[in-house]
A and B are shown apart, each in its own frame.
Chain A
Amino acid sequence: KAGVTQTPRYLIKTRGQQVTLSCSPISGHRSVSWYQQTPGQGLQFLFEYFSETQRNKGNFPGRFSGRQFSNSRSEMNVSTLELGDSALYLCASSSNPPGDYTEAFFGQGTRLTVV
């Protein structure tokens, strides 16, 4: 079956703009989580969704937001982009809710460059 699909793969935006990234989980998976990966900070957890509800949130400013739709697809939005938001944004999906762990399957990520 198809893996986790993230679109777009690459994106260039200007400071101050906003951006929306999309993630389609593996069919049947209801948990989606988002991560930011930068050379300096490594992988950092952004948020975790299950059944359209945000279950956990990392330590990121309010400019970073997300949502999950009834078909489990998820989007994350970053408003008022800063140069430091340049990163690889990774989405992962799994079949189980928080508290009942199964492995996470990651997409290839969206490479965001802010200029």
Chain B
Amino acid sequence: DAKTTQPNSMESNEEEPVHLPCNHSTISGTDYIHWYRQLPSQGPEYVIHGLTSNVNNRMASLAIAEDRKSSTLILHRATLRDAAVYYCILRPRGSNYQLIWGAGTKLIIKP
């Protein structure tokens, strides 16, 4: 199974943009890239997903490298409520939830 690699933790200042990197060098052509986040004592929460093109939604932007071997989640203006563990995940086409989770990046937001 293809896997993802993320930094263990990152720090950012409040109200600044945050770029969370993810490496997935063994991704297959039919794997989707998803991002979820998990706040303390809660279940994961969907953030964004994409296949080949960059994607934007109200929460974040997803930038996917041309060779699809890496991607970056962009939080445009981090707040204290964005402090969470962010997971970069691959989803094989044909299964909705057989997600292959990485170890995640713990995002620390400094006021």
Question: Among the listed stretches A14-22, A62-70, A76-84, A102-110, which one makes contact with chain B, having 4 or more residues with CB under 8 Å of it?
Answer: A102-110
Looking at chain B, what size class is its interface with the partner chain?
20 to 34
Cα(A103)–Cα(B49), bound, Å: 9
Contacts of A70-105 to chain B: CB distance below 8 A: 90, 92, 94, 96-105
The verdict on B111 contacting chain A, using a C-beta distance below 8 Å, is no
A108 & B41 in contact (Cβ 8 Å cutoff) = yes
Looking at chain A, what size class is its interface with the partner chain?
20 to 34
Contacts of B57-111 to chain A: CB distance below 8 A: 87, 91, 93-104
Task: For A43, list chain B residues within 8 Å (CB).
Answer: 44, 87, 99, 101
Task: Show the binding face of A for B, using Cβ within 8 Å.
Answer: 4, 31, 33, 35, 42-45, 48, 55-56, 58, 90, 92, 94, 96-109
Distance in Å: Cβ of B25 to nearest Cβ of chain A: 19
* B interface, over-half SS: loop
Instruction: Give the residue of A96, A99, A103 whose beta carbon is less than 8 angstroms from that of B46.
Output: A103
Cα(A43)–Cα(B90), bound, Å: 13
A33 & B96 in contact (Cβ 8 Å cutoff) = yes
Task: For B100, list chain A residues within 8 Å (CB).
Answer: 45
B45, closest chain A residue (CB) = A106
A90 & B43 in contact (Cβ 8 Å cutoff) = yes
Cα(A105)–Cα(B42), bound, Å: 11
Cα(A55)–Cα(B42), bound, Å: 26
